[in-house]
Amino acid sequence: MELMWWHWLALGLGLIALEMFVSTFFLLWFGLGALITGLLALLLPLSFTAQILLWSLASATMVAAWLKYFKSPDRTHSGQAKEGVLGIAGLVTRPVTETGEGEILFQRPVLGADRWPVVADAPIAAGERARVVDVLGQTLKVTKI
């Protein structure tokens, strides 16, 4: 079996186009690897085995670079220690009163969600900014900024 350089370009463009529909942000790297392989196959005579190896290496290198350098390190996930959340600021969307919980909205997900129920020592009106000072189970304790 022999693959021509344009086969790799078509595969690369197809994978990148498919990425737009499935939005996994994973097929992109294999598509770019195919584009690199196609461009090198245009310039250099490569065997089928060399093309597959080059595509594998290029794709794996781009995935590794994305995971190491470009993926946001400050994004929080479920199960993260509460120390990673302390100090993060958000916008109070439902007022916090002495007797009831309010709600806060973060620009980026915190512990897996962007909206959290909150309590505070002092009332905080909706529209005010607040900072996380503690995690109490499924509720965040905040203070007005």
Predicted confidence at residue 75, as pLDDT, reads 47
Q: What is the mean pLDDT of residues 25-31?
A: 89
Q: Which amino acid is at 6?
A: W
Cα separation, 41 vs 52, whole angstroms: 11
Q: Which amino acid is at 49?
A: T
Predicted confidence at residue 72, as pLDDT, reads 55
* The pLDDT of residue 45 is above 50: yes
Phi/psi at 135 (5° precision):
-115, 120
CA 106-112-118 angle, to 5 degrees, is: 50
Residue ranges of domains in the chain: 5-70, 82-144
Residues 97-135 pLDDT 10s: 887 789 999 988 877 788 999 999 999 999 999 999 998
Predicted confidence at residue 79, as pLDDT, reads 54
The architecture (CATH level 2) of 82-144 comes to Beta Barrel (2.40)
Cα separation, 75 vs 112, whole angstroms: 9
- pTM score, whole prediction: 0.52
Q: What is the DSSP string of 47-60?
A: -HHHHHHHHHHHHH
